[in-house]
Copies of this chain bind each other. A is one copy, B any other.
């Protein structure tokens, strides 16, 4: 995703209006590597601009996606995540806490799909599933104390 300033120019050149809501979201998303959901962005935005609506957050994210400024990430589970990182990269998901981290992957060009001669392939996505070091620690702890695993956020899993 471009910088807020560049986006401002892009918006103007397309006849779109530069509202304070949009500018705030530009700032919140620019360089953001947290892969936030619409709701979490809404929470951050609300802190700086009480009254902004969740609807506007969704609208702005959708228009940025249409403009090619960000991508949607659907790795199962609940809400769609938004990614302003347009570099060629992939993702790692912690199945415990649900966090998504960027990862560069070497070897994707060597991937050879077998049995889909009738498809024209445009993109390849790689998703690693694992457990982050933080969750690994709390796992060890709960093993010792035999605590129940927190029913909090859990990333549903696909292969």
Which residues, 66 to 114 on A, are CB-close (under 8 Å) to B? Answer: 71-77, 80, 83, 89-92, 94-95, 101-108, 110-114
A115 & B128 in contact (Cβ 8 Å cutoff): no
Cα A70 to Cα B75 in complex, Å, equals 18
Q: Confirm or deny: A129 has a beta carbon within 8 angstroms of a beta carbon on chain B.
A: yes
A105 & B101 in contact (Cβ 8 Å cutoff): no
Main secondary structure of the interface of A (DSSP, over half): strand
Total A residues in contact with B, Cβ cutoff 8 Å? 51
Which residue from B104, B105, B121, B158 sits with its C-beta under 8 Å from A130? Answer: B121
Which residue from B74, B103, B119, B126 sits with its C-beta under 8 Å from A75? Answer: B74
Q: Confirm or deny: A147 has a beta carbon within 8 angstroms of a beta carbon on chain B.
A: no
Q: Confirm or deny: A122 has a beta carbon within 8 angstroms of a beta carbon on chain B.
A: yes
Q: Confirm or deny: A6 has a beta carbon within 8 angstroms of a beta carbon on chain B.
A: no
Given contacts A71-B159, A159-B125, contact A92 B80 (CB under 8 A): no
B75 & A158 in contact (Cβ 8 Å cutoff): yes
Q: Confirm or deny: A10 has a beta carbon within 8 angstroms of a beta carbon on chain B.
A: no
Residues of A in contact with B (beta carbons under 8 Å apart): 71-77, 80, 83, 89-92, 94-95, 101-108, 110-116, 118-133, 136, 156-159
Ordered by A's residue number, 12 sampled pairs between the chains whose C-beta atoms are within 8 Å are: A71-B157, A72-B76, A72-B157, A101-B116, A102-B115, A103-B115, A111-B111, A113-B128, A116-B130, A121-B130, A124-B127, A125-B126
